[in-house]
Amino acid sequence: MHDDRSLVEARLKRVLDERIRPAVYPESVPLDVAVWHAPGEPVPVAEGLAAEPEPIAVGARWGAPWGTSWFRVTGTVPEAWAGKTVEALLDLGFDENMPGFQCEGLVYRPDGTPVKGLNPRNQWVRIGAPAEGGEEVRLHIEAASNPVILDYHPFVPTRLGDKETAGSAPQYTLTRMDLAVFDETVWQLVIDLEVLGELMAELPADAQRRWDVLRAVERALDAVDLQDVNGTAAAARAELTGVLAAPAVPSAHRISAVGHAHIDSAWLWPLRETVRKVARTTSNMTALLEDEPEFVFAMSQAQQWAWVRDHRPEVWARVKKAVAEGRFVPAGGMWVESDTNMPGSEAMARQFVHGKRFFLDEFGIENDEAWLPDTFGFAAGLPQIIKAAGSKYLLTQKISWSQTNKFPHHTFRWEGIDGTRIFTHFPPVDTYNCSMRGSELAHAERNFKDKGVARHSLAPTGWGDGGGGTTREMIAKAARVKNLEGSPTVVWEPPHAFFAKAEAEYPEPPVWVGELYLELHRATLTSQARTKQGNRRSEHLLREAELWAATAAVRTGFPYPYEELDRIWKTVLLHQFHDILPGSSIAWVHREARATYERVAAELTGIVEAAQRALAGEGEVPLVFNAAPHPRCGIPAGGAATPATEGQTTREDRPGGGHVLSNGHLRVEIDGRGLVVSVYDVEAARETLAPGQAANLLQLHPDFPNMWDAWDVDKFYRNTVTDLTEAGAVTAGEDGRSVRVARSFGSSTVTQVLSLAPGERRLVIDTEVDWHETEKFLKLAFPLDVHAERYASETQFGHFHRPTHTNTSWEAAKFEACNHRFVHLEEPGWGVAIVNDSTYGHDVTRTVRTDGDGGTTTTVRVSLLRAPRFPDPETDQGVHRFRHALVPGAGIGDAVREGWRINVPERHLTGAAEVAPLVTADHDAVVITAVKLADDGSGDVVVRFHEAHGGRARATLTTGFPLAAATVTDLLERPLAHAPAPAVDGDRIAVRLRPFELVTLRLRRG
C-alpha cells in the first residue's frame, strides 16, 4: 500500500479547522450589548449591575489598562430554536493563545448570581434547551481589561505593569457577542478527531495501531458531507467507534489527572486582580463539577480560598458543597505557594501552620501533600518542616526547567538536612498546565524515568498562571483516553489518591539528598531588594512581637494580640509568594509590597514597644532588650538588662593612606581607596584576606540574560567586571571606631561606613547605594585566605553545605545560590563568616594564591542589586541600605550567633528592673526560634527550637514561670502521639537533639 499518511493527516487538519469546528455552532444571532466603564478600582457587584450602561457595538475598542467594564448583553432565543441547546458566545477580544494573560470576565445573572468565568479558552455560557422559542436572555459581564505584559515578543520593557504609568488607551476589541445553537454531536466529533489525530502523531510510523487509526479517520472524513456537517456528523462518529473502543495494553503508563488552575497570587497582575481571577476560576470549576461526574478539581493556597470566602460568598457556597462531596479538593496545606529558598525558618513553618489550619477550620480536612508546582527550587531544610506540619508528600514540576542537568528521577524520597525523607513526585508531563493533548500524554510516558519499577504519574490539568482551570474539552479528551490503545490510561482523582497508589507501588524509591536546586531563575535571590528587606525585617519583627508579648502576658497580664499577629503573619506569608518575594512581579505589586511592609513594621513595632514598656515598668534603670536567641554583652537571650562593656577601639592613620582600626581582637587596614586590605586575627595570629587581594570590593557586571530578565542571571555575566576602586573620599568617623567611604560609578553613588566595635570580632560594613543603573549587577567581594572545598549557607532550621569547586556540571550550575543570615567557610580550627541583614544571593569561587607559595583561596561575593527592565522597568532604582559583617576566626556557632545579632538589634528602654527571659536554653547549639502563646488561646507557652551546629546536643530548657507539663507537638501545636514526653524537673526540661532536629514544645503553666 502506498504511504499516504501525510495526505490524510493534512486533510484532517484542514477539514477540522475549516468545516467541522465552525459547525459546532451552526446558527447564531447577535446579542444587544451595552457597557459601563467603572471609574478607578473595581466596584461591588451590586453597583456594577445597577449602573446604567451605554450601547457598544462588536468591533469597538474597550478597556483601559487595569480597568473594569460592566457589559450587559440581552437577546431573545429565536422561535425556530425550540428544543435545541443554546449557548451565548461572549468574546471580549480574546487571543486564544493567551489564557490567563489578558482580559477576562465573570458572568452574572441579573440577580447577581455568578455563572462562570470567561477567558480565551472558555467563551461560552450555557443558556439551555428551551422547549419553546422566545426566551429572553440577560447576562452581565464584569470584564477586566488587564493588559498583556508578556507578549509574543517577550521581556520587552513596558510601562503597563502599573496603573500609575499604564495610560488609558483601550486595549481590546469586542469581537463576538452572539446567541448560538450548540451542536453537541459535531462537538463530540471534534473531540474524537482531535484525540485520534494527536494519538497518531505520537505512534511509530510503522505501528499497526497508527495505521488502524489513520484508516478510521479517513473513513470518518469520507462520511462527512462538507456541505452538511451537522447532518452527517453522527455517521462520521460511527466510523471511529472501533478505534476508540480498543483498550490500552496492560503495561500502559497510568496517569492520575487532577483538575488544576495554577493561579499566581500576584505576578503580571496585582493582588486585587488575583482575588477576581480566583472567583472566575472557582465559578467555572464548580459549574464543571456539576456537569461532569468523574471530574475532580484541586486548588492550593489557603489565601486564595479565603479570598473566595471573603469576597464572593455565593461562589463560596458552591465551593463548600463541592468540597463536602470530595470533588473540590484543598491541596498543599500552605498559605500560598511560596518561595522556599528565602523564607526564614519560622516563616516557612507558618506557611504550613496557617494553610493547614484554614482547611481544618473550614472543612475539617487535613491534606498530606505540599503542592508547589511552580516554585523556583527547594531549600534543604524543607523536608522536616513538611513532616513537622503533619504532611508526608511533595509535588513540584519546576525542576524540569533546569537548563544544565536533567534530574534523574520522577518519583523519589527527598532527604533534608536533618535526615527527614519526604516522598516526592515530579510529574513527567513537564507542565502544570496539562490540556490532555496527545503529545503531552505521550511525553509523560516516554519521559518517565522510573519505568520498570513504577508506572504512575500525575498530570495537573487545566489552564493556569493566570487561572482558568480545566475545560470541558479536556474532560472529554480524558474520557476517551481513559482506556485507549496506544495511550497512557487516564483517571481523574485527587492528589492523595495518586500519592497513595504511587507510594504503594514504589515503597523504596531512590533518595536525593540536599537541596533541589533549580538551574534557572537564580537572579530571583536578588531582584527587588526592598521587597526582600521588607520580608526579612518583618520575619524578625514578628518573632520579637511574639516573644515580648508572650513574656509580658505571662508576667504582667498584658493582652496577647492574637488577632493582630494572625493577620500580620498572613500578610507576610502572602508576600512570600513565589513571584513576589523573588522580585519577578510587575511594578504595581512591588510598589504595594513596600507600602505593606512599612505598615507591618509600624504595627509590629507598636506591639513590641507596648509589651516592653509593660515588662520594664516605671523607673530610670537603663535596660537593653535582647530578642536574639543568644546572650550578648551580659544581656540574656530573650531578656533585658544593663549592658556590660569591654575594651576599646583605636584608630590610626595607615602609612601610604587610609586608616587602621584595632580593638585587641582584630586589626583592620583600610587603604586610601576605601578597600579593606588586611583583617588580622590577633588571637589566631593569621591574616583573613587572600594575599594581594582587597575585601569590601564592589564589583559591577553587565547583566542582560537571554530571557526572563528579573528571574535570570546567565553565567556569562562574569566575563566582564568593573572593580569599583576609585573612592571619592575616605574619612575617619567621629566615634573613633569607624571609617566612611564614598564613591560614585555610572549614574550611582555609594557610601559605606566600616566599623569595629570594642570587644567584637566582626567588621561591620553599612552600605548605602543610590542606584540608577540599568541591566547591571552589583556584588560585594570578600577574597579570603581560607582553603575550603565546601562552605555552609544558612537555611531553614540549620545550614547546608555546597562545594566551592566545579568538578561536575551539577556543581558548575550552582554559580548563584541562596543563604539566609550567613555563609561560613573554614579550615580545621579556624573559619570565617559573612553575615547579612537582608541579602540572599551570593557566589563562592576558589583560586590559587598569587604569592607563589601555592594553595587555594576562597572568594565570597554577596549580591546586592540588579537592574532588570522586565517586568518592572524601574526595578530597584533609588536608595538602598545594607548591613554586612565579616567575622574572622568564626566557627559555625559564631556564624549562627552573629547572623542573629545583625538581624535582631538591641532595643533601649528605661525601667524599674531587669527582665528575665521566659524560656532559656543552656546549650549554644540549641537555638530558640519562637516563643509565643498557643494559638488556641489557652495561655500555654509554645517554644520552638532546633539544633543549629549540625551535631548532637543535650540541653536544659529553663522556664521563667511555674511549669505544670511539657508536651512535644507538631507545628500546629497538636501533641505528637509517638514522641516521648520530655523529662521535666520543676522548671527545667531536659532535651536531646540530633543534628538540625526541630522540636516544638507546648508548656502548660502551673
The grid cell for 243 is 478505534
- Main-chain phi, psi angles of 206, to 5 degrees: -100, 10
Give the pairing type, strands 511-513 and 411-415: parallel
Cα separation of 283 and 974, whole Å?
Answer: 35
Residue 628 is which amino acid?
A
Cα separation of 150 and 772, whole Å?
Answer: 25
Residues 818, 800: contact at Cβ < 8 Å? no
How deeply is 906 buried, as exposed, middle or buried, from its count of CB atoms within 10 A (0-12, 13-18, 19+)? Answer: middle
- Main-chain phi, psi angles of 923, to 5 degrees: -125, 130
Q: Which helix (H) or strand (E) holds 803?
A: strand 798-803
The grid cell for 241 is 467507534
Residues 361, 983: contact at Cβ < 8 Å? no
Residues 615, 623: contact at Cβ < 8 Å? no
**Closest by Cα among 600, 624, 613, 592 to 542:** 600
How deeply is 645 buried, as exposed, middle or buried, from its count of CB atoms within 10 A (0-12, 13-18, 19+)? Answer: exposed
Residues 834, 497: contact at Cβ < 8 Å? no
Is residue 374 annotated as part of the catalytic site, yes or no?
A: yes
Cα separation of 674 and 731, whole Å?
Answer: 9
- Main-chain phi, psi angles of 763, to 5 degrees: -100, 115
- As a 3-state breakdown, the chain gives helix, strand, coil percent values, each rounded to 5, of 30, 30, 40
The grid cell for 453 is 519499577
963: β partners: 1005
421: β partners: 415
790: β partners: 803
841: β partners: 818
Residues 396, 378: contact at Cβ < 8 Å? yes
- Main-chain phi, psi angles of 565, to 5 degrees: -65, -40
Handedness of CA 53, 160, 300, 973 (dihedral sign): negative
Residue 192 in 3-state DSSP?
helix
Residues 373, 849: contact at Cβ < 8 Å? no
Cα separation of 25 and 22, whole Å?
Answer: 6
Cα separation of 693 and 783, whole Å?
Answer: 6
Cα separation of 907 and 914, whole Å?
Answer: 13
Residue 622 is which amino acid?
P
**162, 183, 264, 374: which is the annotated catalytic residue?**
374
Residues carrying an active site annotation: 374
